[in-house]
Amino acid sequence: MCAGVERHGGALVWHVMAKNTAVTLCGTRLDRQVDGVNAQRAGHCSTCMALFGKLMTAPPVVSAPAATDH
């Protein structure tokens, strides 16, 4: 999670993002630092949270079993 401005409207919200990237699940690029005091009071990005919910409830991807020598 990382605080940044909301995609539409500019309000400060918490976004979901992977490590070592500046792009959130909703596609917002977070380039600037955010004041920690303001971030404590921020809500959550509804788009990021909806996408995160879909990822967490999706069935696992089953890949082919690894080849083994017997």
Provide the residue-wise pLDDT of the chain in tens; the chain has 70 residues.
Answer: 888 888 766 889 999 988 888 889 999 888 777 777 878 889 999 999 999 999 899 888 877 666 555 5
Determine the pLDDT at residue 70.
54
* Residue 53 backbone dihedrals phi, psi, to 5 degrees: -60, -40
pLDDT in the model for residue 46: 92
CA atoms of 19 and 65, how far apart (whole Å): 28
The secondary structure of residue 58, as a DSSP letter, is: S
CA dist., res. 60 & res. 45, Å (int):
25
**Phi and psi, residue 16, nearest 5°:** -95, 130
